[in-house]
């Protein structure tokens, strides 16, 4: 009964199945063998372009440059005789200086760098902006000075911009004109002593500029970081 109900598989299909099974076995076997004998050499290293962060502008005097803490070079191997191996090294009578610092110097340098790093870490963790009350001889970094200065000058700019009004003159009359005015900032922030450095050629425009400065009047006292500020040359364009 069971044999009569089971669907008959044709002989050709049986052959096909057997061939397929054999092929699968062969494929798996070849993959396994290839895995056993595969090349274990590492991939060639990726080439990186070495870069260096530099400051643009004029080269600074050495004494103004920040001190660079260099990692001490590795200790010399006693059996390396580079000088002797060099075929055309000039012979000198004087004692050559050692190419690497002595062990004592290396130890000192390491200690110094380590302690400096420790100090920096400590400051970074506990007091990233310095003493909140400030210190008498504290100093502000150039970047911080620039930010403070920029903020202050932006305040002056905004004040000028918001009061910059040209009254009674047709816009076509002042097209392509500009007036340059010298403005001094008093310690209390009062803008004063303005004078026209370069006239627009139209007295009415020059006077409108002067009125705008007068209307601006006063800004915050200049911060100590830009106490060198002698004055501002403001170019007014319509």
Partner 1 sequence: MKIITAHARLGCALLALLGFASPAAAERLKLVVSGASFRPFPVGAPAAVSSDGDVSTKALRELTQALHGGVELVRGLELLPPKSYVAPADEPWTKPNYKNWVNVGASGLIRLAASPQGDKLEVGCRFYDVVAQRELLYKTFTVPSASPDVGAHQCVDAVVKQLTGEEGILSSRVVYIKKTKGGKAVFMSDLFGGNIRRLTPADQLSLLPSWDPTGKFVMFTSYLKENPDLYRLNLQTEKLEWLSKKRGLNTGAAVSPDGKKIALTLSVDGNTEIYVMDWDGNNLKRLTDSWGQDVSATWSPDGKRIAFVSSRSGQPHIYLMNADGTNQRRLTFQGNYNQEPNWSPRPDGQIAFTARDEHLMYDIFLVHPDTGEITRLTQDEGQRNESPSFSPDGQHILFTSNRAPGKGRKLYIMDVDGRNQRRISKIGGDVETPRWGPRAGW
Contact residues toward partner 1 (CB under 8 A) are 57-58, 60, 142, 145-146, 149-150, 153-154, 156-157, 160-161, 164-173, 182, 202-204, 207-208, 210-212, 214-215, 225-226, 228-238
75 phi and psi, to 5 degrees? -65, 145
| Cβ-Cβ contacts under 8 Å for 140 (sequence gap 6 or more) | 148, 225
Length of the chain: 238
Quickly count: other Cβ atoms within 10 Å of residue 223's Cβ.
Answer: 14
* Nearest residue (CB) to partner 1, 109 versus 155: 155
* Nearest residue (CB) to partner 1, 190 versus 237: 237
194 phi and psi, to 5 degrees? -70, 140
Comparing CA positions, the residue from 184, 191, 198 lying closest to residue 231 is: 184
* Nearest residue (CB) to partner 1, 69 versus 233: 233
User: To the nearest whole angstrom, how small is the minimum distance from the Cβ of residue 178 to partner 1?
Assistant: 8
Tokens of 44: 């060639």
User: To the nearest whole angstrom, how small is the minimum distance from the Cβ of residue 175 to partner 1?
Assistant: 11
* Nearest residue (CB) to partner 1, 112 versus 173: 173
Comparing CA positions, the residue from 165, 157, 150, 148 lying closest to residue 183 is: 157
User: To the nearest whole angstrom, how small is the minimum distance from the Cβ of residue 197 to partner 1?
Assistant: 10
User: To the nearest whole angstrom, how small is the minimum distance from the Cβ of residue 39 to partner 1?
Assistant: 55
User: To the nearest whole angstrom, how small is the minimum distance from the Cβ of residue 209 to partner 1?
Assistant: 9
User: Does residue 197 contact residue 233 with C-beta atoms inside 8 Å?
Assistant: yes
Report in angstroms the alpha-carbon separations of 211 from 73, 163, 186, 217, 238.
Answer: 66, 9, 18, 10, 14
User: To the nearest whole angstrom, how small is the minimum distance from the Cβ of residue 236 to partner 1?
Assistant: 5
d(CA 87, CA 125): 54
* Nearest residue (CB) to partner 1, 123 versus 144: 144
* Nearest residue (CB) to partner 1, 75 versus 231: 231
């Amino acid at each position: 009964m069971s044999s009569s109900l089971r669907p008959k598989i044709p002989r050709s299909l049986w052959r096909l199945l057997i061939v397929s099974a054999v092929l699968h076995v062969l494929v798996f076997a070849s993959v396994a063998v290839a895995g056993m004998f595969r090349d274990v050499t590492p991939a060639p290293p990726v080439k990186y372009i070495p870069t260096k962060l530099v400051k643009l502008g004029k080269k600074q005097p050495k004494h103004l440059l920040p001190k660079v803490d260099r990692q001490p070079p590795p200790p010399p191997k006693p059996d390396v005789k580079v000088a002797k191996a060099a075929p055309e090294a000039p012979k000198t009578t004087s004692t050559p200086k050692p190419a690497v610092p002595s062990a004592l110097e290396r130890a000192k340098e390491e200690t110094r760098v380590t302690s400096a790093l420790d100090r920096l870490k400590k400051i970074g963790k506990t007091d990233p902006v310095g003493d909140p009350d400030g210190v008498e001889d504290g100093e502000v970094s150039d970047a911080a000075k620039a930010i403070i200065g920029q903020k202050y000058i932006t305040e002056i700019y905004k004040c000028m911009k918001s009061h910059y009004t040209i009254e009674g003159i047709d816009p076509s009359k002042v097209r392509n004109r500009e007036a340059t005015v010298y403005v001094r900032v008093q310690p209390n922030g009062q803008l004063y002593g303005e004078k026209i450095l370069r006239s627009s050629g139209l007295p009415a425009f020059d006077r409108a500029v002067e009125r705008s400065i007068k209307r601006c009047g006063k800004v915050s006292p200049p911060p100590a970081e830009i106490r060198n500020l002698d004055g501002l040359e403001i170019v007014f364009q319509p």
